Structure 1
């Protein structure tokens, strides 16, 4: 390709995972933004990668923190991070902000949840979160909540009655309904119910790797048919071996394109740009992290102590350029690659987010 496309990561991280407070297993389990490290290296690596915007996870996902109060605090924390690094970061509320980030050489930060449990029983909290700038809400994490079943919930019960109201409220406030981590029935029911297109911001294709965190062709097809978006992650679930490679990422992207069409597929890496420097030390800590997730009931099938939560040969500041190269070798033309790297997410956002928010 002659020029770098508009790279938008539908689910990723801004963090230096080598910093002490970012690296601990307990810190990863509690999912606190105050334990991230957004330092000079984090920002320099993000810029060097070509990243224009990223949907980051904030608020309550799992653990023993009070969901609503913790989520409000996390929004304050991220507002502070963006203010502190205003020369490098821009809070994204609208599609115009995504364009502005590119024009001004900043990284757009999209506020998103990976669990909607913080809504509690008060549907008005959806409006509160939207007003505070939350643009993406994932309905469930791996386990069931009062909104619907996650991918690891054995009953596969679908949306609850309250969950239907949550989807309707998210629609009313122009917030993306993200069905990553959801159970199959929850995904299908939410996609059918939603008045606006929905997304699966970070997933793989179950037809290629039959694991609960991946989506069936039926789910992928329904989301795309209603104008939605599917982001393929750089995660171990892309291979039954648990050791996914860059080639697996390309295979899952290609399968998703064949099922959904080239206008509805993108990337949601579920990882940072900055690479882990000491992989041996990280592997030693990983066993504790996986054990803690399993004990807390939030782990997923396919997670093991030896399965790195990233693709070893598709990481670091060159990960997007390497993916472009691999897609070119696969025969993908420039226009299709531009869509996958960010244009499709941009267009999807244009279908969901209001012009002003």
Structure 2
């Protein structure tokens, strides 16, 4: 009989793994160690304006067009398969804030032509589109935001609601004619922290045909105990709850890891999240320190360790088909429905 560890290793080896969110990346090495086939990388600063966004995209396009480089730009699901066949990492270029379009609807098609395929409507705060999840007013989408949702549908750009306020996210899920995503978000019913999502929204995302990407990000998995840093069992409580609400076909994962050669290189981002958004991170940072090394589960701190997710699901009794769907199969189906125009 095949042991659980052998079965998990084989499943992980043959899976087409898609990570729904990496917030910073400067190397493919840790992604290859985790057998990642494609990844939604945040290719621009969280609060970048139009000019900075263009410069950041230009830098990534230069990296990705190097024939000797490790990246293959993903504009369609076929590109994910092509990346794996070419032994490259599929680069899904994404944003975590739409400040780069300002109040200009025509910029959506422009950025689509540049290769952006996932856009998060807001990042914690308010922009021209709607409210972020830390805005106390929790207003819905603006009139402009409603036009943005329709235009993203027309262009074939995935709508990400992870850092979006509840009412704005519910509006987007209601208005969208294509599936919408929570690329990296957990369940508020399990951990009542600002970044986690109400069951109502999780169900609304699934009703669009979309996906909820459960995340290993520590502050969203934490049970509030300052004596115990989160581990993968805490992550699984969220995943299991989401599956019980909407079914395995609407679940994926987004680690919110940095895929970097040196974790100190993201120190300024880690500090920014504490300084600018204290309501989201202060208690966690006070308990465990404000460092990239402590922002993740004690037993899974890097994309290189993604095999531990597969081991966990095998140990929990998941079928091979469900594990493969979670690791990437669901994303292949849903992204094809969003990107095909």
Per-residue CA distance 1:172-219 (angstroms, 9 max, x = gap) = 100001001011101111000011110000011111000110011110
Counterpart selection for 2:43 from 36, 52, 58: 58
Residue 240 of structure 1, aligned match among 219, 223, 228: 223
* SS of 1:301 mapped into structure 2: helix
CA distance, structure 1, for counterparts of residue 104 and residue 67 of structure 2? 34
- Report the Cα offset of residue 273 of structure 1: 4.5
Q: TM-score, normalised by structure 1?
A: 0.84
* Bigger fraction of residues in helix: 2
Match of 2:130 in 1: 148
1:49 lines up with 2:28 in the alignment: no
The match for 1:301 is 280
Question: Is contact 1:115–1:138 with CA below 8 Å preserved after alignment?
Answer: yes
Residues 1:114 and 2:96 aligned together: yes
User: For this pair of structures, how many residues does the alignment match?
Assistant: 319
Assess, with a 3 A threshold, how the Cα gap between structure 1 residues 224 and 77 changes in structure 2: closer, same or farther: same
Distance 2:271 2:315 in 1: 39
- Pair 80,338 (structure 1): closer, same or farther in 2 beyond 3 Å: same
Q: CA deviation at 1:60?
A: 4.0
Match of 1:316 among 269, 289, 302: 302
The equivalent residue for 1:35 is: none
The aligned counterpart of 1:198 is 180
1:27-106 map, 5 Å: 38=26, 42-62=27-47, 67-84=49-66, 86-106=68-88
Structure 2 length as normaliser, TM-score? 0.87
Determine the structure 2 residue equivalent to 1:249: 235
Q: Is the 8 A contact 1:55 1:110 kept in 2?
A: yes
Q: Is the CA contact 2:18–2:328 (under 8 Å) kept in the aligned structure 1?
A: yes
Q: CA RMSD in A?
A: 2.1
- Contact 1:275-1:315 within 8 A present in 2 as well: no
Give 5+ residue unaligned stretches, structure 1.
16-37
User: Can you give the 5+ residue segments of structure 2 that lack an aligned partner in the other structure?
Assistant: 1-6
CA distance in 2, matches of 1:276, 1:208: 32
In 1, Cα distance between the equivalents of 2:191 and 2:257? 20
What aligned pairs does 1:122-133 form with structure 2 within 5 A after superposition? 122-133=104-115
Decide whether aligned partners of structure 1 residues 302 and 81 sit closer, same or farther in structure 2, where only a CA change above 3 A counts: same
Superposed counterparts of 1:168-317, under 5 Å = 168-236=150-218, 237-241=220-224, 243-273=229-259, 292-295=272-275, 297-303=276-282, 304-305=284-285, 306=289, 308-316=294-302
